[in-house]
DNA sequence: GGCCAGGTGTAAA
DNA sequence: TTTACACATGGC
């Protein structure tokens, strides 16, 4: 039985889930592109997000300045493959403009932004905010999601809110896993959870072997 | 053909 | 304060 986040981390670590995805699970770790990907992936599959990101790259607008100045109609067209494109186009451009307005550059944004600021931006909820902080800004911020909830449900845990789930995942982890920085531990942990659940699911059920 | 995907905003009860 | 629904595409 898994008693805490450290045990879950160590259990997942045995599976070498991310060895094909180093140095870090999220593509373009530490890059501005992560912000765009974090919004595009909302209720969408990552393979679809990659198509949209490639469209943006081809048009040379996958940058803070590019996304501030592109027409919203053109932006919608380029991100159509990821679904929910009207909302997401507004979110992406709105957030880009807000970053430019409040911080001036992606680098300043990364070093100064607070979670509360992100949560005030339209289209940025707790998961998107944490994804940006963790994978774009390399902060010590754990991301939890539907996969995390499903995995822990398979181990018998239920949580009412995003923050409750996150608190369980964070509580004891950083002090017990020391070969990486805390920021990397959180980033790695979330990545392992997603890859494990993807690889061990039948429908919405997570299949556990050798442990329960 | 229906369900689902690395959620969030909005409007009713 | 909680619940229900819309947003939209493509894979399975």
- Measured to protein CB atoms, the chain C nucleotides within 7 Å are 7-11
Domain containing A168 equals 5-22+142-206
A83 CB closer than 7 A to any strand B atom: yes
Which residue among A114, A136, A158 closes a domain? A136
Q: Within this chain, do residues A71 and A113 fall inside the same structural domain, yes or no?
A: yes
- In a domain? residue A211: no
Specify the nucleotide whose C1' lies closest to residue A204 (CA): B4
Predicted confidence (pLDDT) per residue in A124-155, tens digit? 999 999 999 999 999 999 999 999 999 999 99
**What pLDDT, on the 0 to 100 scale, is given for residue A211?**
64
pTM of the model: 0.96
Q: What is the mean pLDDT of residues A14-35?
A: 89
How many domains is chain A built from?
Answer: 2
**CA A45 to C1' B1, whole Å:** 20
Q: Within this chain, do residues A53 and A116 fall inside the same structural domain, yes or no?
A: yes
A188 CB closer than 7 A to any strand B atom: no
Q: Within this chain, do residues A64 and A127 fall inside the same structural domain, yes or no?
A: yes
Q: Within this chain, do residues A11 and A44 fall inside the same structural domain, yes or no?
A: no
A52 CB closer than 7 A to any strand C atom: no
Q: Within this chain, do residues A155 and A118 fall inside the same structural domain, yes or no?
A: no
Q: Within this chain, do residues A52 and A99 fall inside the same structural domain, yes or no?
A: yes
**What pLDDT, on the 0 to 100 scale, is given for residue A111?**
97
Q: Within this chain, do residues A43 and A104 fall inside the same structural domain, yes or no?
A: yes
Q: Exposure pattern of A86-107 as b/e (b: 16+ CB <10 Å)?
A: eebbbbbbbbbebbbeebeebe
Which residue among A136, A167, A192 closes a domain? A136
A170 CB closer than 7 A to any strand B atom: no
A122 CB closer than 7 A to any strand B atom: yes
A131 CB closer than 7 A to any strand B atom: yes
Q: What is the mean pLDDT of residues A87-108?
A: 98
**What pLDDT, on the 0 to 100 scale, is given for residue A203?**
76
**CA A161 to C1' B12, whole Å:** 22
The CATH number for A55's domain is 1.10.340.30
Burial of A117 (0-12, 13-18, 19+ CB in 10 A): middle
**What pLDDT, on the 0 to 100 scale, is given for residue A155?**
93
Q: Within this chain, do residues A37 and A132 fall inside the same structural domain, yes or no?
A: yes
Which residue among A78, A106, A136 closes a domain? A136
Q: Within this chain, do residues A99 and A172 fall inside the same structural domain, yes or no?
A: no
The CATH number for A154's domain is 1.10.1670.10
A45 CB closer than 7 A to any strand C atom: yes
């Amino acid at each position: 039985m898994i008693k805490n986040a450290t045990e879950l981390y160590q259990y997942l670590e045995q599976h070498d889930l991310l060895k094909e995805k180093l140095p870090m699970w999220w593509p373009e770790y530490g890059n501005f592109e992560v912000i765009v990907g974090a919004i595009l992936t909302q209720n969408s599959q990552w393979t679809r997000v990659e198509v949209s990101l490639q469209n943006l790259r081809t048009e040379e607008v996958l940058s803070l300045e590019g996304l501030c100045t592109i027409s919203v109609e053109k932006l919608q067209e380029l991100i159509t493959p990821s679904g929910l494109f009207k909302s997401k186009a507004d979110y992406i451009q709105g957030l880009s403009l807000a970053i430019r307005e409040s911080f001036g550059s992606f680098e300043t944004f990364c070093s100064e932004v607070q979670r509360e600021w992100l949560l005030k931006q339209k289209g940025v909820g707790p998961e998107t905010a944490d994804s940006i902080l963790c994978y774009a800004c390399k902060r010590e911020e754990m991301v939890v999601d539907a996969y995390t909830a499903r995995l822990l449900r398979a181990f018998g845990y239920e949580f009412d809110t995003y923050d409750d789930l996150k608190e369980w995942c964070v509580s004891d982890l950083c002090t017990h896993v020391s070969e990486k920085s805390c920021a990397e531990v959180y980033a790695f942990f979330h990545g392992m959870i997603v890859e494990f659940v993807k690889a061990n699911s039948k429908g919405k059920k997570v299949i556990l072997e050798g442990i329960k």
